[in-house]
Structure 1
Amino acid sequence: MPAWLLMATTLVYLGGCSGMSARDRNTAGGAAVGGAAGAILTGGSAAGTIGGAAVGGVIGNQVDPNKK
């Protein structure tokens, strides 16, 4: 994939997050990190990636940056 196409795709993706609430962004970020971790830990297994994304999304959803 050409570098310019990757950069353009990334900018469009990030622009789509502008209307999201903090909880929505945390959920999406948690799912992304969890999916990557699941893929790494299971050697690229689809079940591991999906499971990691699900767990990461739940954890990200429960994180509250305003909680004291």
Structure 2
Amino acid sequence: METLTWVMIYGGLILLSLGIFVARTAQILGNGFMLAGAAIACVGGVLIYVRSRMKSPERKS
């Protein structure tokens, strides 16, 4: 759960920043990347909230 959360947050932010650069030449494609990246990063934020409310988070050491 922890790994998935951080992969979604960082992956979403990378996709969002890629969309900003792509939007300079291809507006529709760039907007799609930005929208998808923001959505993925928000899902990662929600996963942080869900994990904080779990009674006993699973941890693999």
Q: Which has the higher contact order (CA 8 A, sep 6+)?
A: 2
The normalised TM-score by structure 1 is: 0.40
Higher share in helix: 2
The normalised TM-score by structure 2 is: 0.44
